[in-house]
Amino acid sequence: MHLDLVTVACLRDNYAYLVVCPETGEAALVDAPEAAPIAAALLERGLRLSHILLTHHHADHTDAVAELRAGGAQVIGAAADAHRLPPLDMALRPGDRFEIFGEDVHVMAADGHTLGHIAYHVPALGAVFTGDSLMALGCGRLFEGSAAQMWQTLSALAALPDETLVCSGHEYTLSNARFAVTIEPGNAALTSRLKRVEVARSEGRPTVPSLLSEELETNPFLRAGLPALKSAIGMQEEDDAAVFAEIRRRKDEF
């Protein structure tokens, strides 16, 4: 079944996503930062909200659930996070699969930013919804999980097909790009991407979703295992997780 993707800007710098089934006029929402723009996007397209998928418990991803579920939408989230999510109609664990509009959704562990964070891979759409784990040119801060957990998350996401769209939760790309250049100033693909991001943001255009292939070329957090990056920061002999941890430390202080 053909599915469409709609990106909805919310709050100051959040994004929500609608996975749309044109045949039925239904939509599944991934994360619920703010009700008004999401409701407007549904109304504009004549869609009925059927599902709300939550990546993690933070308020800027869940605050609009109560209002948006009033029409009967089924709320889905992580069993491990159920105690601090809005009431769930379906509680899932990493490795689970379920269907939306007849298409498989694969639940992936995405610990690091929080514990119990999950991501949703929708192969038929060619997209993965990563919340605050993998972001465009970055990754989420480690509020609850460890660097080793986030590195494991990013490694699993990096193994998805190169053409996968990475649908992340925030417009942090310009700051992320400026930091990334401090890690790999000689990365031509990164320098080129920074220029494109600067233009996009100056024109008020979103920088997400992004292609996984481009993240693999330019996102320092995904590249922590590469010899070229390790050499760039003088950590040639360190293991991948330790290099990732050092990059995350530097970004926290950037």
Active site residues: 56, 58, 60-61, 113, 132, 170
User: Can you give the three-state secondary structure of the chain, one letter per residue?
Assistant: CCCEEEEEEECCCEEEEEEEECCCCEEEEECCCCHHHHHHHHHHHCCEEEEEECCCCCHHHHCCHHHHHHHCCEEEEEHHHHHHCCCCCEEECCCCEEEECCEEEEEEECCCCCCCCEEEEECCCCEEEEECCEECCEECCCCCCCHHHHHHHHHHHHCCCCCCEEEECECCHHHHHHHHHHHCCCCHHHHHHHHHHHHHHHCCCCCCCEEHHHHHHHCCCCCCCCHHHHHHCCCCCCCHHHHHHHHHHHHHCC
